[in-house]
Amino acid sequence: MKPPSSEVDPAEDPELLFPAPRTCPFSPPEAYTRRRRERPLAPVRMLGGNEAWMVTRYEDVRSVLGHQHTSADRRAPGFPRFAPAGERLRRDSYFRTPLNWQDPPEHTRTRSALTAEFTMRRVSRLRPRIQEITDARVDRMLRSGGPLDLVRHLALPVPSTVICEILGVPYSEHARFEPDSALMMDRNTPAAERFRAAHTVRSYLGEVVAWKERCPGDDLLSRLLAEAETEGRPDPDGVTSTAFVLLVAGHITTSSMISLGTLALLEHPGQLALMTADPARVPGAVEELLRYCSIVEAATARTASADLDIAGTRIANGEGLVPVIQTANRDPEVFDRPDELDIGRRGRGHLSFGHGRHHCLGKNLARAELQIVLGTLFRRIPSLRAAVPLGEVAFRGESNIHGLRELPVTW
């Protein structure tokens, strides 16, 4: 792999180690921003040990994510490795290739079986239930009184309950998957412990799927099992693999955005006042928070499945690509005043849900949850405020999904 503009060895440049920690909780690392400005397509040394191309401009990131000749298969030799532990998971036959690792035609078949479950129409029917779950959690907060941890009392349990009810997983057993899901996302988790956590969550979901085979219900896992049976291809292992991706992604990402979005609004009282003064502004506020916070650190990597030209640079077949959502969403060529939070922003859309065939399957659900939770929280507790200064808030700085470990709040 040769750098596009100079013979810099990424191993000798610590700024090119990826992923890098954020210095500001809401912004990309300065090294990323500098790369977008000076060398928008640059070689980078991955924390997992190999090299890849770091892609930082909006149009280039969008191009890579939408390109028919890029692959999401993490078993490929050149796939960017974000942590050493991931290599063991990729090699383990126990883990069937999940949706987010698949390429067509397998990806097309798997995703088509799920798309109807997450359409805007289906999600609109879920909104009353999401509102009930949110109100119940806010009721508990008000009864308890502050200060309390918003992550534990609201941001985590709401999306976790929602995705459990969609899948048919008992939320009462959330302790069997929530802690290990967080460990899996933490790049500081030792390889053996991360591997154990993934096995534990998948084994638990295997139990749930086996139970659904015996006692089907009105839920997604039961429908997937029934559909496979009807087509003469029973596949409980494949359903378990799908459940693994949907459960983990379905609660960690949205819970991270709820807590980080809440903090961002508290840190920008003028924008918060605009949102609370007019409920019609909530959807726009959610979109801007998704752009501004850009929580996805490590879910968009690809390998080139043919020789490509990206931003005038030849990418060889098999080389890794890391499209950086954080810098794309702050690209001044696309967004006016990109480093400002502006809930009334108009223009091009963010890339926080990705682009192309692997764009986020649950984006409609995530939007609904964020709109309902943030709108309800500040409507019912208008005096909400952080109970500690920003500098004392505990962030998940080494997680593949950026967010907060806890957010003490009071009112």
Three-state secondary structure string covering the chain: CCCCCCCCCHHHCHHHEECCCCCCCCCCCHHHHHHHHHCCEEEEEECCCCEEEEECCHHHHHHHHHCCCEECCCCCCCCCCCCCHHHHHHHCCCCCCCHHHCCCCHHHHHHHHHHHHHCHHHHHHHHHHHHHHHHHHHHHHHHHCCCEEHHHHHHCHHHHHHHHHHHCCCHHHHHHCHHHHHHHHECCCCHHHHHHHHHHHHHHHHHHHHHHHHCCCCCHHHHHHHHHHHCCCCCHHHHHHHHHHHHHHHHHHHHHHHHHHHHHHHHCHHHHHHHHHCHHHHHHHHHHHHHHHCCECCCCCEEECCCEEECCEEECCCCEEEECHHHHCCCCCCCCCCCCCCCCCCCCCCCCCCCHHHCCCCHHHHHHHHHHHHHHHHHHCCCCEECCCHHHCEECCCECECCEEECEEEC
Q: pLDDT tens across 226-245, in order?
A: 999 888 888 899 999 999 99
* Domain presence at residue 128: yes
Q: pLDDT tens across 342-391, in order?
A: 999 998 899 999 999 999 999 999 999 999 999 999 999 999 999 999 99
Stretch among 2-16, 99-113, 187-201, 272-286 having the lowest mean pLDDT = 2-16
For the chain, give the percent of residues with pLDDT over 90. Answer: 77
At residue 315, does pLDDT exceed 60? yes
- Which pTM value belongs to this model? 0.93
Packing angle of the helix pair 236-267, 220-230 (nearest 10 deg): 150
pLDDT of residue 108: 86
The residue whose two tokens read 């000076």 is 38
Asked if residues 183 and 189 have their Cβ atoms less than 8 Å apart, the reply is yes
| 76 vs 53: CA distance, rounded Å | 15
* Domain presence at residue 403: yes
Q: Which of 52-61, 84-93, 112-121, 298-307 has the highest mean pLDDT?
A: 52-61
At residue 7, does pLDDT exceed 70? no
CATH code of 200's domain: 1.10.630.10
* Domain presence at residue 164: yes
Mean pLDDT of all residues belonging to the chain = 91
* Domain presence at residue 291: yes
Residue partners of 279: CB distance under 8 A and separation at least 6:
375, 379
pLDDT of residue 100: 80
The residue whose two tokens read 């379905």 is 250
Provide the domain limits for residue 320: 10-410
Q: For residues 245 and 21, which has the higher predicted lDDT (pLDDT)?
A: 245
Measured on CA atoms in the order 232, 237, 243, 245, is the torsion positive or negative? Answer: negative
* Domain presence at residue 1: no
Q: pLDDT band for position 95 (50/70/90)?
A: low
At residue 5, does pLDDT exceed 50? no
Q: pLDDT tens across 133-160, in order?
A: 999 999 999 999 989 999 999 999 999 9
Q: pLDDT tens across 190-204, in order?
A: 888 988 999 999 999
- What does each C-alpha distance from 380 to 137, 141, 366 come to in angstroms? 11, 11, 21
pLDDT of residue 11: 44
* Domain presence at residue 3: no
| 244 vs 95: CA distance, rounded Å | 10
* Domain presence at residue 325: yes
For the chain, give the percent of residues with pLDDT over 70. Answer: 92
pLDDT of residue 16: 67
315 φ/ψ angles, rounded to the nearest 5 degrees = -105, 120
Q: pLDDT tens across 62-84, in order?
A: 999 999 999 999 888 899 998 76
The residue whose two tokens read 């609201």 is 154
At residue 402, does pLDDT exceed 60? yes
Mean pLDDT value of segment 95-120: 84
Q: pLDDT tens across 255-291, in order?
A: 999 999 999 999 999 999 999 999 999 999 999 999 9
The number of domains in the chain is: 1
Q: For residues 98 and 42, which has the higher predicted lDDT (pLDDT)?
A: 42
Pairing of strands 313-315, 41-46: unpaired
* Domain presence at residue 98: yes
